[in-house]
Amino acid sequence: MTWKRSEIRAARQKPLKSLMEALGYQLLPLQDGNYQLCKLAADIVVKDHYWVNKQDGTAGNAIDFLVNVEGMSFNQAMGLLRS
């Protein structure tokens, strides 16, 4: 499927806290609006529409999280974020 730039941009800006809670992650509140994922052994911290794994330095937006952490394809991630 072909995605419009505006659709990809909107998906990248999706708030991660609500997305991760919908995926079953528990989030531990930290300072300054940051949250830490409790479900994974990885040290992932989330803020707004951005996440970072402090262990290996990977980071990104909602699309990157779904592809790199959840193992979805780009099209699967976009389909989920679009709905």
Q: Domain containing 36 — which CATH number?
A: 3.90.580.10
pTM beyond cutoff 0.75: yes
Residue 1: pLDDT band by 50, 70, 90 thresholds? confident
Count of structural domains, the chain: 1
Mean pLDDT, range 53-78, rounded to an integer:
95
Domain that holds residue 21: 5-82
- pLDDT the model gives residue 42: 66
- For 7-60, the pLDDT digits (tens) are 999 999 999 999 999 999 999 999 999 999 886 666 899 999 999 999 899 999
C-alpha dihedral sign at 69, 65, 75, 24: positive
Give the Cα separation of 78 and 1 in Å (integer).
10
Residue 73 phi, psi (nearest 5): -80, 165
